[in-house]
A and B are shown apart, each in its own frame.
Chain A
C-alpha cells in the first residue's frame, strides 16, 4: 500500500535541534536587547527557511513520521530542561507552558472540534484548583487522584452550563459562558471557607514518596525542585495530546467537525448533536481542570484573581493564535504567550494589550493561525494509492 518512499526523518530532527538551541539562547538572554536579538534571528531564520524550501521537508517529517517525531519533540524538551536543571525560572516557565498547552488542548476539543464556545475557561480551571486545594489540605488522598478529582469536579461543574450552551446558539452561548465566569469569580471572593479574596495555600505535591517542593540530587547533580513539576506536567501534556490526537483521527473527530460546520447536515446523517457536544465539553473541562490543578500545586497558591475573564480570554487567544484545532499550534502559541511577557519586562505591563494586538494581527494576516490545522491524517504515514 505504501508505494511512496517514507519521508526522511532527519529534517525533522534538525528542525527540533534548531528550535531547542534557539529556546536555550532565548532563555539565556540577559537583557531586553539580547531577547529582541534572538527573536529577530529566529524570525529571519524561519522566513529564510521558508523561502529556500527547507521548511517543507521538516514539516513533512512531522506529518508523515509522526510517532518518531513525537519522541524527538519530547527528547528536545528534555534536553532543554537539562540545560536549566538547577535554574528555577526557566523550569517554572516550561511547567507553565506545558500546563497552558494542556488547558488549550481541552479548549481545542471544545471549540476547535465541536465548536462549543467557552469563555468561562477560568471558572473550570478555578474549580479544578480549588478542588485540589481543599482535597490536598484536608484529606490524605494521593495527589494523582487529587488531580483527577480536580478535573472531574471541573467537568461536573461544566455540566451546569451544558444545558444553556446546548439550548442557545452563537453569541448567546458566548454570553452565557461569560456570565458564568463572572459569577464564579464573585462566588470565590465572597466565600470565606474558600479563603475569600486572599485565596488558599496548597501543600507540596507528593508522588511515590517524592516531595515535589524539595530540590533533589541525582548522580551528584542538583536539580531544582521545579523539575518534579515539569516532568509531571510533561506527562499530563503527553497524555492529553494523545487523547486529543486520537479523538481527532477517529470517527468521533469527523462527527465533531460535522457538528461544528453544519448542525442541520450532521443531524440528517444521524449525528447526535447534544451527545457529542456534551462529550467534548466535559472532556475538555476535565483536561483543563486537572492540568490547572497541577499548576496550582506547583505555585502553592491560588486566589480569585487567577481566574478572571481575562484569564479565559488568554486561553481562547492562544488557540486562535496557534491555529484553531491544531495541537502543535496551541503548543507554539502557549509558549509565545507565556514566555514573551516574562522575558520582555517592557511588555509585561501591557500584556493584555499585546495579546489583543497579536490576535488582531493574526486574524487579519493569517486567519488560520500560525500553524493552520491540516486535513485529518487518519493514520500517519498512510496514503492509499
Chain B
C-alpha cells in the first residue's frame, strides 16, 4: 500500500492560551474527497493554515505522500504539491483573471531574471501555452468567463471570484487541494453548480485529493467520501457523512452553536 496523501498526527496549534487545534489526527487517501466540518471557531481554517506553512505547528506532525512537511515554509508546501483557497477570498483584485491564475502557476513558469527579460520568444511561447491551459480550466467552471480572461478580477461577482480562486489553486496540478468554504455567500443553485465543477475537475486530474471545509451539510453529504468533525479544536467524530451525522456529539456540537 502506498503512503496516504495526507497524514496528520497530533497536529496542534496554540494562540496564547487558546488551543485552536488540539492534537488532530487525520488521513486522506489518494483520490478521496474529505470533508472538514464543525461549528465556527472550531479550528478548521487553522488546520489549513498550519498545514500550508502560514502558522507553525505547536506540536504534532504532518506528512504529505510519506514526506514530513511539518513547519515547512508556505512556498515549500506549494512546491510539494498542496494548493489551497482561502475562506476570505485573497485574489489580487486589480489584476486580470489570467494574471491571478498565473500566480497559482508559479512553480511551472520560468523564474529566471535572464529568461524573463531577454528570452522574449521563449517567454512568448510559454505565455501562449499557459493561456490556453488556463482558459481550458476556467471553461470547465464557467464558459463565458473563459472569454474574459483579461478582465480585472475586482469587477467580477463573488461566485466568479470563487471559481477563479479554485482555478488558481488547480492550475499547478497539485496532488492535494484544500478548499476553505468555497460556497460561502453563494445561493443554493450556485453552490450546486460549483460542486458539479469540482467533481468534474477531480475526474480530470488523475489522483487529485481534496479536503473541503464546508458549512452546507447537503454539499458534504453529496461530494465527500469521508468527513472529520471538529469542535473546540478537537476531532469529535470521523466517518462517512451518514455515520458522523448520526453521532450524538456531532448533533450537540451543531445544535449548541447554530
Contact = CB atoms under 8 A, between A and B. Distances in A.
Interface string A357-385: 00000000000000000011011000110
Chain A interface mostly? helix
B75 A272 contact: yes
Interface in A327-362: none
B86 A247 contact: no
Contact of A271 (B53, B75, B118): B75
Q: Which of A266, A270, A279 has the largest number of chain B CB atoms within 10 A?
A: A270
Chain B interface mostly? helix
Nearest to A378: B127
B103 interface: yes
Contacts of A251: 102, 106, 109-111, 116, 123, 126
Interface stretch (B92-100, B181-189, B199-207): B92-100
Contacts of B124: 379
Interface residues of B, number: 46
Interface of B: 52-54, 73-75, 77-79, 83-84, 86, 90-96, 99, 102-104, 106-107, 109-111, 113, 116-118, 120, 123-124, 126-128, 131-132, 135, 149-150, 152, 168, 172
A261 interface: yes
Nearest to A279: B113
A329 to B, nearest CB: 15
A250 B116 CA distance: 6
Interface residues of A, number: 28
Nearest to A325: B94
A238 interface: no
A246 B54 CA distance: 32
Given A251-B106, A255-B103, A261-B94, 15 more contacts: A251-B111, A252-B116, A254-B103, A258-B92, A258-B95, A264-B90, A268-B53, A268-B74, A268-B83, A268-B84, A269-B106, A270-B106, A271-B75, A378-B127, A384-B149
B127 A270 contact: no
Contact of A252 (B75, B92, B111): B111
B184 to A, nearest CB: 17
23 contacts: A243-B117, A246-B118, A247-B116, A247-B117, A251-B109, A251-B116, A252-B116, A255-B103, A257-B99, A261-B92, A261-B95, A265-B91, A265-B92, A267-B53, A267-B73, A268-B74, A270-B107, A271-B75, A375-B96, A375-B99, A376-B96, A383-B150, A384-B149
Contacts of B90: 262, 264-265
Contacts of A264: 54, 74, 90
A120 B117 CA distance: 27
Contacts of A267: 53-54, 73-75
Interface in A113-156: none
Contact of B79 (A247, A252, A262, A270): A270
